[in-house]
Structure formats: C-alpha cells, structure tokens
Chain A
Amino acid sequence: QVQLVQSGAEVTKPGASVKVSCRASGYIFTDYYMHWVRQAPGQGLEWLGWINTNSGGTKYAQKFQGRVTMTRDTSISTAYMELSRLRSDDTAVFYCARALAVDQPLLPADCWGQGTLVTVSS
C-alpha cells in the first residue's frame, strides 16, 4: 500500500536549520509530485511548496522563498524539506503529502506522512 514515513521529531534553536525526510513506498516515487505542508500547534494548514520528484524542479510559496529547500533522492524514494533561519513561530508539524495523480502538480494530496514535529526553542 502507498505509504509515506517521515523522520522523527526535532528540537532546534532559533537561527538553526532543520531537514525533514519523507520515505515513500508502495508506488513509483518519481511518478508523483510531493507537497510539503505545515501546521502550527492548534492552527490551520499552510502549504510550503512542491517538488517534482522526477526532475527535481521545485515551486515554493513566496513566504518561504530563500528559507526552504526541497530535494529528493530517487535511489531511496525519499523527499527532503530543509527550512533554515528558524524562528520560534516555525514550531509546527510538517507533513509531506503526495499529489493525487501522476505528473500533475495542480492537484490536492491523497496520501500524507504521519507528520514531523519541529520545535524551535532557545
């Protein structure tokens, strides 16, 4: 079955960077775009961007431009999201989420990782 398994919780300091991984299984990794979404404690959902897992091309939300980097390693079917210059208000659960159909970015996400809590605290 389709599954996305994310790396474990992180605690980090303001100004540092964090890198979250998302290992995919049960489908052809390079056929589907991967989105990244975050959710601050008790808050709503916020889209960070997507990565074309085939070409490596990315599209980031303007809000995160310059701070976020999405990459992938096709040999191990894993996507990564790195967020730099962290602030306390970056504390959130970060999700990877697969686009609904092959080769299309303009789609909702039908399969989500379990989430990775990133806590930014001095």
Chain B
Amino acid sequence: DIVMTQSPDSLAVSLGERATINCKSSQSVLYSSNNKNYLGWYKQKPGQPPKLLIYWASTRESGVPDRFSGSGSGTDFTLTISSLQAEDVAVYYCQQYYSTPFTFGQGTKLEIK
C-alpha cells in the first residue's frame, strides 16, 4: 500500500496569511503514460463529509476559490492557501488514487492564530 504522510499535523495561521500543507507519498503517484499525478486534496469541516479541492495535484475543482492551489510531482506535494479566511478552518487530507487501496494522509488541522 502507498503510505501518505502529511506535515504538519496541525497549523495555526493568521487571517490573511499564507498556509502551506505538505504531503509525501511512499512511492511515486506520477503515471508516466499521461504525465499526471494521481493526487487529490480534500477539506473537511466537523460533522460534514470531505469536499474535493484539488485533483491531478494542481487542478482546482469547480467552485473552489483561487486562493487554494496545489503543486508538486512524484512523491512530494503541497497545498497552499494564499490568504487564509475564517471559513478555511478545517482538516485537510491528501489522497492518492494511483493504485488501490486508495490511501489518505492522516490529516492536517488548520486553525486561526
């Protein structure tokens, strides 16, 4: 199984400041045949299901604010929130869908400083 490791486990950022969450996979999730990274990012608020933010490592899902961006390739990925808003307080998960079982990172809890 591919192990996904996020860092940090928790993060406190001031409103309007940048938040950065990292995700590392135990093996590459880049498919050479189509040059796509099979990596997504989700946001989850308490009592709600996860919401897809980013797929193919850097493609923003429809309706997701452009302050959210994803980057990285192979085994190392980053989710960046350029200017933190109050509604961004949540737990964020990365997920690989390169091979089954699809696996998630342990989550990063983002709070306001």
Contacts and interface: CB of A to CB of B under 8 A. Distances in A.
Contacts, number: 53
A106 B29 CA distance: 12
Interface string A1-18: 000000000000000000
Contacts of B98: 106
A100 B55 contact: yes
B65 interface: no
A34 to B, nearest CB: 13
B104 A46 contact: yes
Contact of A108 (B40, B49, B106, B107): B40
Contacts of A44: 93, 104-107
Interface in A28-47: 35, 37, 44-47
B105 A110 contact: no
Contacts of A113: 49
A108 B105 CA distance: 14
A61 B101 contact: yes
Interface residues of B, number: 21
Contact of B52 (A37, A45, A110): A110
A35 B61 CA distance: 18
A100 B102 contact: no
A112 B107 CA distance: 18
Contacts of A59: 100
A112 B50 contact: yes
* Max chain A C-beta neighbours (<10 A), residue from B38, B101, B105: B101
A47 B52 contact: no
Contact of A35 (B42, B102, B103): B102
Interface string A100-120: 100000111110111100000
A95 B49 contact: yes
A106 B50 contact: no
| Shortest 6 CB-CB contacts between residues of A and residues of B | A112-B49, A108-B40, A61-B101, A47-B102, A45-B104, A110-B52
Interface of B: 38, 40, 42, 49-52, 55, 61, 93, 95, 97-98, 100-107
